[in-house]
Amino acid sequence: MAVTSDNVVWHSSSINREDREELLGQRGTLIWFTGLSGSGKSTIANALQERLYKKGKLTYVLDGDNIRHGLNGDLGFSLEDRKENIRRIGEVGKLFVDSGIITLGTFVSPLREDRLQVRNLLKQDFIEVYIKCSLETCEQRDPKNLYKKARNGEIKDFTGIDSPYEEPENPEIILETDVEDIDTCIDKIIEYLELKENTI
Protein backbone atom coordinates (compact mmCIF):
# COMPACT_ATOMS: atom_id res chain seq x y z
CA MET A 1 0.00 0.00 0.00
CA ALA A 2 1.26 3.46 -0.87
CA VAL A 3 2.20 5.76 2.00
CA THR A 4 0.72 9.27 1.92
CA SER A 5 3.21 12.07 2.47
CA ASP A 6 2.74 14.43 5.42
CA ASN A 7 2.80 17.22 2.84
CA VAL A 8 -0.37 16.00 1.12
CA VAL A 9 -3.47 17.73 2.50
CA TRP A 10 -7.09 16.89 1.61
CA HIS A 11 -8.67 19.75 -0.34
CA SER A 12 -12.30 20.34 0.63
CA SER A 13 -14.85 21.41 -1.95
CA SER A 14 -17.37 24.21 -1.55
CA ILE A 15 -20.02 21.81 -2.88
CA ASN A 16 -20.34 18.78 -0.63
CA ARG A 17 -21.79 15.31 -0.93
CA GLU A 18 -25.16 16.33 0.51
CA ASP A 19 -25.45 19.07 -2.13
CA ARG A 20 -24.75 16.60 -4.92
CA GLU A 21 -27.17 14.02 -3.55
CA GLU A 22 -29.90 16.63 -3.24
CA LEU A 23 -29.32 17.64 -6.86
CA LEU A 24 -29.51 14.00 -8.02
CA GLY A 25 -32.35 12.95 -5.74
CA GLN A 26 -30.53 9.84 -4.56
CA ARG A 27 -27.94 8.62 -2.08
CA GLY A 28 -24.44 7.68 -3.19
CA THR A 29 -23.96 3.97 -2.60
CA LEU A 30 -21.51 1.25 -3.63
CA ILE A 31 -23.28 -1.98 -4.56
CA TRP A 32 -20.59 -4.65 -4.60
CA PHE A 33 -21.31 -7.75 -6.70
CA THR A 34 -19.09 -10.69 -5.77
CA GLY A 35 -19.07 -14.24 -7.12
CA LEU A 36 -17.27 -16.66 -9.37
CA SER A 37 -16.42 -15.82 -12.96
CA GLY A 38 -19.48 -16.62 -15.06
CA SER A 39 -21.90 -16.31 -12.14
CA GLY A 40 -23.62 -13.29 -13.72
CA LYS A 41 -22.17 -10.31 -11.87
CA SER A 42 -21.84 -8.04 -14.90
CA THR A 43 -25.12 -9.22 -16.40
CA ILE A 44 -27.04 -8.44 -13.21
CA ALA A 45 -25.24 -5.12 -12.66
CA ASN A 46 -26.02 -3.92 -16.18
CA ALA A 47 -29.66 -4.98 -15.92
CA LEU A 48 -29.90 -3.13 -12.61
CA GLN A 49 -28.31 -0.07 -14.20
CA GLU A 50 -30.97 -0.09 -16.92
CA ARG A 51 -33.78 -0.39 -14.37
CA LEU A 52 -32.39 2.47 -12.27
CA TYR A 53 -31.84 4.61 -15.37
CA LYS A 54 -35.53 4.27 -16.19
CA LYS A 55 -36.24 5.50 -12.66
CA GLY A 56 -34.15 8.60 -13.37
CA LYS A 57 -31.19 7.53 -11.23
CA LEU A 58 -27.55 8.20 -12.06
CA THR A 59 -25.40 5.07 -11.91
CA TYR A 60 -22.01 3.86 -13.04
CA VAL A 61 -20.68 0.31 -13.39
CA LEU A 62 -17.11 -0.35 -12.28
CA ASP A 63 -16.37 -3.61 -14.07
CA GLY A 64 -13.42 -5.76 -13.03
CA ASP A 65 -12.14 -6.35 -16.57
CA ASN A 66 -12.60 -2.71 -17.56
CA ILE A 67 -10.64 -1.48 -14.55
CA ARG A 68 -7.78 -3.81 -15.43
CA HIS A 69 -7.58 -2.20 -18.88
CA GLY A 70 -6.58 1.09 -17.30
CA LEU A 71 -6.22 1.95 -13.63
CA ASN A 72 -5.15 -1.55 -12.61
CA GLY A 73 -3.46 -2.55 -15.84
CA ASP A 74 -0.17 -2.94 -13.98
CA LEU A 75 -1.52 -5.68 -11.68
CA GLY A 76 -1.45 -9.43 -12.18
CA PHE A 77 -3.45 -12.10 -10.37
CA SER A 78 -1.14 -13.03 -7.51
CA LEU A 79 -2.63 -12.80 -4.03
CA GLU A 80 -0.76 -9.56 -3.42
CA ASP A 81 -1.93 -8.02 -6.70
CA ARG A 82 -5.53 -9.11 -6.08
CA LYS A 83 -5.46 -7.34 -2.73
CA GLU A 84 -4.10 -4.16 -4.31
CA ASN A 85 -6.71 -4.42 -7.08
CA ILE A 86 -9.54 -4.42 -4.53
CA ARG A 87 -7.90 -1.72 -2.39
CA ARG A 88 -7.71 0.66 -5.35
CA ILE A 89 -11.28 -0.12 -6.38
CA GLY A 90 -12.47 0.59 -2.86
CA GLU A 91 -10.86 4.03 -2.98
CA VAL A 92 -12.33 4.75 -6.43
CA GLY A 93 -15.73 3.55 -5.22
CA LYS A 94 -15.52 5.89 -2.26
CA LEU A 95 -14.97 8.84 -4.60
CA PHE A 96 -17.93 7.83 -6.76
CA VAL A 97 -20.14 7.52 -3.68
CA ASP A 98 -19.00 10.95 -2.52
CA SER A 99 -20.12 12.30 -5.90
CA GLY A 100 -23.63 10.97 -5.17
CA ILE A 101 -23.58 8.24 -7.79
CA ILE A 102 -25.09 4.80 -7.25
CA THR A 103 -22.03 2.75 -8.12
CA LEU A 104 -22.15 -0.89 -9.16
CA GLY A 105 -18.90 -2.80 -8.69
CA THR A 106 -18.52 -6.22 -10.32
CA PHE A 107 -15.48 -8.04 -8.97
CA VAL A 108 -14.79 -11.68 -8.20
CA SER A 109 -13.07 -10.37 -5.03
CA PRO A 110 -12.52 -13.90 -3.69
CA LEU A 111 -11.25 -13.10 -0.20
CA ARG A 112 -13.48 -12.01 2.67
CA GLU A 113 -10.83 -9.80 4.23
CA ASP A 114 -10.47 -7.78 1.03
CA ARG A 115 -14.24 -7.24 0.78
CA LEU A 116 -14.32 -6.35 4.48
CA GLN A 117 -11.66 -3.72 3.85
CA VAL A 118 -13.92 -2.04 1.32
CA ARG A 119 -16.93 -2.38 3.62
CA ASN A 120 -15.01 -0.70 6.44
CA LEU A 121 -13.99 2.10 4.07
CA LEU A 122 -17.55 2.76 2.86
CA LYS A 123 -19.39 1.78 6.06
CA GLN A 124 -23.18 2.25 5.63
CA ASP A 125 -22.70 3.10 1.95
CA PHE A 126 -21.61 -0.47 1.10
CA ILE A 127 -24.06 -3.14 -0.05
CA GLU A 128 -22.66 -6.61 -0.68
CA VAL A 129 -24.52 -8.70 -3.24
CA TYR A 130 -23.42 -12.32 -3.42
CA ILE A 131 -24.05 -13.75 -6.87
CA LYS A 132 -24.36 -17.37 -5.80
CA CYS A 133 -23.96 -19.85 -8.61
CA SER A 134 -22.52 -23.35 -8.66
CA LEU A 135 -19.06 -23.89 -10.09
CA GLU A 136 -20.57 -26.43 -12.48
CA THR A 137 -22.99 -23.86 -13.91
CA CYS A 138 -20.27 -21.21 -14.17
CA GLU A 139 -18.08 -23.66 -16.07
CA GLN A 140 -20.92 -24.57 -18.40
CA ARG A 141 -21.48 -20.89 -19.18
CA ASP A 142 -17.77 -20.01 -19.38
CA PRO A 143 -18.47 -16.89 -21.53
CA LYS A 144 -14.76 -16.01 -21.84
CA ASN A 145 -13.41 -19.58 -22.05
CA LEU A 146 -11.46 -18.91 -18.86
CA TYR A 147 -12.41 -22.13 -17.09
CA LYS A 148 -11.36 -24.15 -20.11
CA LYS A 149 -8.00 -22.38 -20.16
CA ALA A 150 -7.59 -22.86 -16.40
CA ARG A 151 -8.37 -26.58 -16.68
CA ASN A 152 -5.81 -26.84 -19.48
CA GLY A 153 -3.17 -25.11 -17.35
CA GLU A 154 -3.08 -22.01 -19.55
CA ILE A 155 -4.21 -19.78 -16.66
CA LYS A 156 -2.77 -20.10 -13.16
CA ASP A 157 -4.37 -19.00 -9.86
CA PHE A 158 -7.85 -19.01 -11.34
CA THR A 159 -10.58 -18.58 -8.73
CA GLY A 160 -12.64 -21.72 -8.24
CA ILE A 161 -10.09 -23.98 -9.91
CA ASP A 162 -6.67 -23.58 -8.27
CA SER A 163 -7.37 -20.48 -6.18
CA PRO A 164 -10.03 -20.27 -3.44
CA TYR A 165 -13.27 -18.31 -3.34
CA GLU A 166 -14.53 -17.45 0.15
CA GLU A 167 -18.29 -17.05 0.17
CA PRO A 168 -19.66 -13.95 1.96
CA GLU A 169 -20.86 -14.74 5.46
CA ASN A 170 -23.41 -11.93 5.87
CA PRO A 171 -24.12 -10.25 2.53
CA GLU A 172 -27.03 -7.84 2.32
CA ILE A 173 -28.42 -9.69 -0.69
CA ILE A 174 -27.97 -13.21 -2.10
CA LEU A 175 -28.96 -13.90 -5.70
CA GLU A 176 -28.95 -17.49 -6.93
CA THR A 177 -28.44 -16.98 -10.64
CA ASP A 178 -28.51 -20.66 -11.47
CA VAL A 179 -32.15 -20.87 -10.34
CA GLU A 180 -33.46 -17.27 -10.44
CA ASP A 181 -34.05 -15.26 -13.61
CA ILE A 182 -32.67 -11.78 -14.15
CA ASP A 183 -35.93 -9.92 -13.46
CA THR A 184 -36.36 -11.72 -10.13
CA CYS A 185 -32.81 -10.80 -9.15
CA ILE A 186 -33.26 -7.14 -10.08
CA ASP A 187 -36.58 -6.98 -8.22
CA LYS A 188 -34.82 -8.17 -5.06
CA ILE A 189 -32.16 -5.47 -5.32
CA ILE A 190 -34.68 -2.72 -6.07
CA GLU A 191 -36.79 -3.80 -3.11
CA TYR A 192 -33.74 -3.59 -0.85
CA LEU A 193 -32.76 -0.15 -2.17
CA GLU A 194 -36.30 1.18 -1.71
CA LEU A 195 -36.19 0.13 1.93
CA LYS A 196 -32.76 1.75 2.43
CA GLU A 197 -33.56 5.35 3.32
CA ASN A 198 -33.07 7.93 0.54
CA THR A 199 -31.04 5.61 -1.71
CA ILE A 200 -33.49 5.69 -4.64
- The answer to whether the annotation marks 56 as part of a ligand binding site is no
- The answer to whether the annotation marks 35 as part of a ligand binding site is yes
Q: Report the alpha-carbon distance of residue 32 to residue 131 in Å, rounded.
A: 10
- The answer to whether the annotation marks 83 as part of a ligand binding site is no
Query: Is residue 65 classed exposed, middle or buried when 0-12, 13-18 and 19+ CB atoms within 10 A define those classes?
Result: exposed
- The answer to whether the annotation marks 13 as part of a ligand binding site is no
- The answer to whether the annotation marks 38 as part of a ligand binding site is yes
- The answer to whether the annotation marks 134 as part of a ligand binding site is no
SS3 call for 70: coil
- The answer to whether the annotation marks 40 as part of a ligand binding site is yes
Integer-rounded Cα radius of gyration of the chain: 17
Please list the helix, strand and coil fractions of the chain in percent, rounded to the nearest 5, in that order: 45, 15, 40
Residue 77, C-beta contacts closer than 8 angstroms, at least 6 positions apart = 156, 157, 158, 163
Beta bridge mates, 105: 32, 62
Residue 109 appears among annotated catalytic residues: yes
Q: 5, 14, 109, 163: which one is catalytic?
A: 109
Residues 129 and 173: beta-carbon distance below 8 Å: yes
Cα–Cα distances (Å) from 5 to 8, 86, 97, 103, in that order, read: 5, 22, 25, 29
- The answer to whether the annotation marks 42 as part of a ligand binding site is yes
Positions at the binding site for ATP: 35-42
**Catalytic residue positions?**
109
Positions at the binding site: 35-42
